[in-house]
A and B are shown apart, each in its own frame.
Chain A
Amino acid sequence: MKRIFPILSVITAALLAYALYQALVVAPTDAQQGDVYRIIYYHVPSAWTAFLLFFINFIASIQYLVSAKASTKAAAKWIVLGIGVVGVIACFLPQVQRMLPVGMRPSAVATTVLAIPLFYFLIGRLFPGQKLDVLAVTTAEVGVVFCTIVLVTGPIWARPVWGIWWAPGDIRLTSTLVLWLIYVSYLVLRRFSNSAQTQMLAAALAVFGALDVPLVYFSIWFFRTQHPQPVIGGGGSMDPRMLHVLLISWIAFLCFAFLVCWSRFRLELLHREIEEAHAMESLLGAGAGSKASLPLSRSSR
């Protein structure tokens, strides 16, 4: 495992450099906006990465909440499975398709619905017990970093294109800011609360926070906003060369996010290990001559 991280880091650095080259040199210039539109290659992949991380946080939080009781865990498993099956079938019913916004493909919605049980079972299998909570805090923190980039690059892009830094009252912008605030409060709760219930409270907050993600994403379909309409999966048209660069950029950012999450996950494990060792030390007594050792095996990471 020690060798994989540096190898992945080199691959990711090469991918990011390639994505930068594609974004600045290869991608064609936009006829209306000129070169400033190239902010899209950092703004949009950062937004997608943040959404994905908040989605993982949501799934990990639900898993953590239901894992307290075996009966709840079993019930949740069937509910998630039901959501997947019913959701996919519903996407292909004409009545449901009529309700979808113009340009939104039912297959895209079905794939998103299918991702819920897929991620749920995958995360449950890969991150048992307390590791679910570690994953939740990891994805929330890294997600906030990517969401911050979205909120910073957005106004920088808006100023030359719209003539304003921020459109007050715009639902896409406001809901993104609210999403960021919810996850910042989640991190503040985790950082400063010492209650035994902190993990449960944070998981509950994360579930409510994640409800804002669909609102952010679908706001441009359902409401009139200053923000442009979606260029992918929303009936808009994007030059295939631009789309190609956008996807390369997203892959590069996903690899980068994965590495950062990996580091943050290890950091959180080490932090908990040390806290546990300190607690053990306090219990055994400083003067008893006892030797406090780190409780978790390092080879397991």
Chain B
Amino acid sequence: MNAIKFLIAAYVATWAIHGVYLASLVRRFSRLRQQSRELEKK
């Protein structure tokens, strides 16, 4: 039973890392799109 905790922890950690990275990509995309819109307005 104790070993299951490690299995769950590994799987959760994997998706947490991917989730954080994907969130950073989305954040960077929206920031760049904002900059792009501002440039086009000028």
Contact = CB atoms under 8 A, between A and B. Distances in A.
Contact of A36 (B3, B32, B35, B40): B3
Given A42-B11, A260-B21, A270 B36 contact: yes
B32 A270 contact: yes
B4 A36 contact: yes
A274 B32 contact: yes
B37 to A, nearest CB: 11
Interface stretch (A150-158, A221-229, A239-247): A150-158
A35 B7 contact: yes
Contacts of B10: 39, 42-43, 152-153, 156-157
Contacts of A270: 29, 32-33, 36
B2 to A, nearest CB: 7
A271 B39 CA distance: 13
Contacts of B2: 160
Which DSSP category, helix, strand, loop or mixed, fits chain B's interface? helix
A145 interface: yes
A152 B10 CA distance: 7
A282 interface: no
Interface string B1-31: 0111011011101100110011001001100
A292 B25 contact: no
A78 B34 CA distance: 46
A295 to B, nearest CB: 11
Contacts of B36: 270, 273-274, 294
State the 8 A-B residue pairs at the shortest beta-carbon distance, nearest first: A36-B3, A153-B10, A39-B10, A156-B10, A160-B3, A145-B21, A42-B14, A270-B32
26 contacts: A35-B3, A35-B4, A35-B7, A36-B3, A36-B6, A46-B14, A145-B17, A145-B18, A148-B17, A149-B17, A149-B18, A152-B10, A156-B6, A156-B10, A159-B6, A160-B2, A160-B6, A256-B18, A267-B32, A270-B36, A271-B28, A277-B39, A281-B39, A291-B42, A292-B42, A293-B39
